[in-house]
Amino acid sequence: METLVMPAINFAAIMPETILSIVAMVLLLLNVFVPGEQKAYLAYLSLIGIVVAFFSVVSGWNAPLPMQEGFNGSVLQDNFSLFFKAIFLISAGLAVLISDHYMVKEECNYGELYPLILFATAGMMLMASGTDLMTIFLGLEVLSVSLYVLAGYNRSNIKSNEAGLKYFLLGAFSTGFLLYGMALTYGATGTTKIAKIASAAALDATLSSNPMFVVGMLLMAVGFSFKIAAAPFHMWTPDVYEGAPTPMTAFMSAGPKAAGFAAFIRVLMVAMPTLKADWSDLLWILAVLTMTVGNIIALSQNNIKRMLAYSSIAHAGYALVGFTAGNGEGTAGILFYMLSYAFMNIGAFAIIILVGKKGEPNNNVEDYAGFGVKHPVLAMIMALFLFSLAGMPPTAGFVGKFYLFSAALKSGYVWLVVIGVLNSAASCYYYLRVMVYMYMKDPVEEFDWMKLSPAIWASIAISAVGVIVPGIVPSIILQLAQKAILL
Amino acid sequence: MLEKYLILSAILFSIGTLGVLIRRNAIVIFMCVEMMLNAVNLTFIALSKHLGNIDGQVFVFFVMTVAAAEAAVGLALMIAFFKNRESIDVEDINVMKL
Amino acid sequence: MLGAYLPIIVLVTIAILFGLGSLIFSSLIGPKKPSEVKLAPYECGCEPVGSARERFSIKFYIIAMLFILFDIEAVFLYPWAVVFKKFIAAGLGPFILAEMGVFIVILFVGYIYVWKKGALEWE
């Protein structure tokens, strides 16, 4: 009997994931053992877990290589994944802060929400640090399965049911494509490890014209495009975003989108640089389609959640512009943009939650008429988020877009940048339309929300700071992002 | 020998894909998705045997468990939908429109 | 060489004899008082009346879902059990055992959750 050699494990490489999973399991048990309808304590406990995980992420920054690698090369907690993990934790934390208020209002205050958010976040982290197709797949599924439930969380609401079911059916369908792509890549290279795929492709020049390898890359791109909601794989997004409980829409648009980008970038840039000619053309088309489809359809939307869903498709398109560039600046731009997008989008959704009544009958743009007169402070903050989404200075949205587009220019994609800028200009229309209603129309009805919870205020304040500070002094975040690129 | 398995799994995958696009019952659609996943599993097993490499088989274990978790969540979502709509026909998933 | 298969042959023989024996003996010794209910086909505890194409109670789905989950997770025990002896030989027995312990504990958390939620109660 041959003896086995234990592969290097290194639990430090999955510390944040472990912390979140343990906290999530404890919360799951607390939820069934502690009686009572009051679930806010679960929110605060999960916040503690998120903060502890955040410290573990911070402490891993710039760690030496042996400390980053774990589980026989299946995970790599490098700066790239740490930056993404910070984005996931921030969006999870903000989502937790805005949840309790909403869930009480909509009478679906079951405590499982918080463990599910934490599990989804752990899945995202695994996706970002996975350096084995297996790990990436598992992370993606932990994330997706949690998100299907979160989308359909308000189980007595027909819209939420539909959102969950639709997301589930289309998500599982796209998983099939992703998986088939992984299988073909495995067949072509004989390994599922990202680094080994890259070295196999570098050693064997015929591999880059091997149909199995190329089709594998294409199918994986389809799967990831679905997760980041890139056109033409965006069909699920509007319905799911509109139907899902608003805090979960906010969470979905920030964290999982970034996670999709993390895995997508790592697979294409690290494992398949030999196919760069193929995938940069593909990304070019995806970026143009995604920006244009998202912005044009958003112009005609009246429901504000649906409008932000199309806007989120368009924002994936802007990030794809940076990805198409295929250089370090582009990656740094995506990192910066995903972080600012988490702040501005969750902030905007937090205000939508405050304005929304039970059952969300008043989520249309017209319902914001006179908001600026009745609630000047909130309206001003909402305007800030909308300015940032539209990409106007001095907000983080402007700086992020600037870096993404200049990275693409540097790689010579002039037309792509022109289309991007035109799209960005078109998007101003629908963001400014909300502002026109807020400031230039008379209020139709009262804004009668429940008593403002301090948690929502905290999330709005944090988001506002997260939009303004990187907008004025972008160098702090940008320097971190530049240390986090994959090169 | 490998080609035969790959062709078979490609055919199974295509049947699954077509089923998802054509069928109207949410449970049948999910069964078609499962078929796609199992076609991929067949690909993995065939490749694993061909390459003499265990990674593909390990992958299949994970795909199986993930498929089970998806099935559980999917059935739960369908039950929730059915309670409100008395139907699981995808034509009835239509409250939200463009 | 064939001697290695002897226990299996013995086991199979005993199993066949026991199965056949209990069938034969019960038909020989048992009292026979047939009634309509007793002659009806067995349908796992349900009233065996009406069409078989009726809608099933949603409870079946929940039990089926839970069964699938815990059943499939058990699949990971098999490869672990196959290599466990090799790990003992490599002196890593306690560690590998603890790893599986962690896996089981995680499953058990799910089980406790399901139990306390009342998903295992039929009524």
Three-state SS sequence of A343-371? HHHHHHHHHHHHHCCCCCCCCEHHHHCCH
Q: Rounded to whole angstroms, how far apart are CA atoms A50 and A152?
A: 24
pLDDT of residue C60: 80
Residues in chain B whose Cβ is within 8 Å of chain A: 6, 13, 16-17, 20, 26, 29-30, 33, 36-37, 39-40, 43-44, 47, 50-51, 53, 55-56, 58-59, 62-63, 66, 69-70, 73-74, 76-78, 80-81, 83-85, 90, 93-96, 98
Residue B98 counted as domain residue: no
pLDDT of residue C64: 82
Residue C2 pLDDT > 80: no
The 10 Å Cβ neighbour count of residue A13 is 25
Helix (H) or strand (E) holding A70: strand A69-70
Residue A195 pLDDT > 70: yes
Residue A336 pLDDT > 80: yes
Read off the pLDDT of each residue in A417-424 and give the average, rounded to a whole number. Answer: 94
When mean pLDDT is compared across A55-59, A156-160, A257-261, A452-456, the lowest value belongs to A452-456
> Which span out of A453-457, B46-50, C6-10, C86-90 was modeled with the highest average pLDDT?
B46-50
Q: Rounded to whole angstroms, how far apart are CA atoms A313 and A233?
A: 10
Residues in chain B with CB shorter than 8 Å from the CB of A148 are 73-74, 77
Residue C115 counted as domain residue: yes
Structure tokens at C122: 């039929």
Report whether A421 contacts A405 (CB < 8 A).
Answer: yes
Q: Which residue has the higher pLDDT, A480 or A37?
A: A480
Query: pLDDT by residue (tens digit) across C26-44?
Result: 888 888 777 777 777 665 6
β-strands A69-70, A75-76 pairing: antiparallel
Query: pLDDT by residue (tens digit) across A198-237?
Result: 999 999 888 888 999 999 999 999 999 999 999 899 999 9
Rounded to the nearest integer, the mean pLDDT of chain A is: 91
The 10 Å Cβ neighbour count of residue A9 is 13
Number of domains in chain B: 1
Report whether B4 contacts B48 (CB < 8 A).
Answer: no
**Nearest-CB residue to C72 (from B65, B75, B76):** B65
Alpha-carbon distance A326 to nearest alpha carbon in chain B (angstroms): 30
Q: Which residue has the higher pLDDT, A399 or C90?
A: A399
pLDDT of residue B98: 47
**Does B72 contact C75 at a Cβ distance shorter than 8 Å?**
no
Q: Rounded to whole angstroms, how far apart are CA atoms A468 and C119?
A: 48
Q: Rounded to whole angstroms, how far apart are CA atoms A94 and A463?
A: 8
Number of domains in chain C: 1
Report whether A77 contacts A125 (CB < 8 A).
Answer: no
Q: Which residues on adjacent β-strands are paired with residue A70?
A: A75
Residues in chain B with CB shorter than 8 Å from the CB of A172 are 30, 33, 70, 74
Give the residue on A whose Cα is nearest the Cα of C114: A32
Residue C24 counted as domain residue: no
Read off the pLDDT of each residue in A312-341 and give the average, rounded to a whole number. Answer: 94
**Nearest-CB residue to B65 (from C64, C65, C73):** C73
Work out the percent of chain A whose per-residue pLDDT is above 90: 71
Give the residue on B whose Cα is nearest the Cα of C61: B75
A2 to chain C, any CB pair closer than 8 A? The answer is yes
Residue type, C98: A
Q: Residue A397: which of A415, A406, A379, A384 has the closest Cα?
A: A384
Alpha-carbon distance A238 to nearest alpha carbon in chain B (angstroms): 8
Residue C81 counted as domain residue: yes
Residue A268 pLDDT level (bands cut at 50, 70, 90): very high
Residue A4 pLDDT level (bands cut at 50, 70, 90): low
**Does B75 contact C72 at a Cβ distance shorter than 8 Å?**
no
Residue C93 counted as domain residue: yes
**Nearest-CB residue to A176 (from B6, B40, B95):** B40
Residue A65 pLDDT level (bands cut at 50, 70, 90): confident
A35 to chain C, any CB pair closer than 8 A? The answer is no
pLDDT of residue C1: 62
A4 to chain C, any CB pair closer than 8 A? The answer is yes
Residue C26 counted as domain residue: no
Q: Rounded to whole angstroms, how far apart are CA atoms A247 and A351?
A: 10
Residue B86 pLDDT > 50: yes
Alpha-carbon distance C92 to nearest alpha carbon in chain B (angstroms): 21
Residue C16 counted as domain residue: no
Residue C49 pLDDT level (bands cut at 50, 70, 90): low
Query: pLDDT by residue (tens digit) across A162-177?
Result: 999 999 999 999 999 9
pLDDT of residue B5: 93
Report whether A357 contacts A448 (CB < 8 A).
Answer: yes
Helices A396-410 and A304-325 cross at an angle (nearest 10°) of 30
Residue B11 is part of which domain span? 2-88
Report whether A217 contacts A275 (CB < 8 A).
Answer: yes
The overall longest dimension of chain B from CA atoms, in Å, is 51
Residue A140 pLDDT > 90: yes
Query: pLDDT by residue (tens digit) across A368-383?
Result: 888 888 888 889 999 9
Report whether A1 contacts A65 (CB < 8 A).
Answer: no
pLDDT of residue C51: 62
Read off the pLDDT of each residue in A390-395 and give the average, rounded to a whole number. Answer: 89
Rounded to the nearest integer, the mean pLDDT of chain C is: 83
- Which A positions 394-423 lie with beta carbon below 8 A of chain C? none
Structure tokens at A457: 């205020």
Report whether A327 contacts A411 (CB < 8 A).
Answer: yes
A169 to chain C, any CB pair closer than 8 A? The answer is no
Residues in chain A with CB shorter than 8 Å from the CB of C83 are 4
Residue C109 counted as domain residue: yes
pLDDT of residue C101: 94
Residues in chain A with CB shorter than 8 Å from the CB of B43 are 180, 183-184, 187
Residue C63 is part of which domain span? 54-123
**Does B40 contact A180 at a Cβ distance shorter than 8 Å?**
yes
CA-to-CA separations, A486 to A137, A225, A335, in angstroms, rounded: 20, 20, 11
Which CATH number characterizes residue B39's domain? 1.10.287.3510
Residue C74 pLDDT > 80: yes
**Nearest-CB residue to B84 (from A161, A166, A239):** A161
Residue B32 counted as domain residue: yes
pLDDT of residue A451: 61
Residue A107 pLDDT > 90: no
Q: Provide the whole-model pTM.
A: 0.90
A5 to chain C, any CB pair closer than 8 A? The answer is yes
Q: What are phi and psi of B25, to 5 degrees?
A: -90, 130
Residue B84 counted as domain residue: yes
Residue B57 counted as domain residue: yes
Residue A7 pLDDT > 80: no
Give the residue on A whose Cα is nearest the Cα of C118: A32
Alpha-carbon distance A3 to nearest alpha carbon in chain C (angstroms): 5
Q: Rounded to whole angstroms, how far apart are CA atoms A134 and A179?
A: 10
Residues in chain A with CB shorter than 8 Å from the CB of B56 are 183, 186, 192
pLDDT of residue A3: 59
pLDDT of residue A449: 59
Read off the pLDDT of each residue in A68-90 and give the average, rounded to a whole number. Answer: 92
Residues in chain A with CB shorter than 8 Å from the CB of B55 are 134, 186, 191-192
Q: How far apart are the first and last CA of chain B?
A: 49
Domain ranges of chain A: 11-483
DSSP, residue by residue, A297-349: HHHT--BHHHHHHHHHHHHHHHHHHHHHH-SHHHHHHHHHHHHHHHHHHHHHH
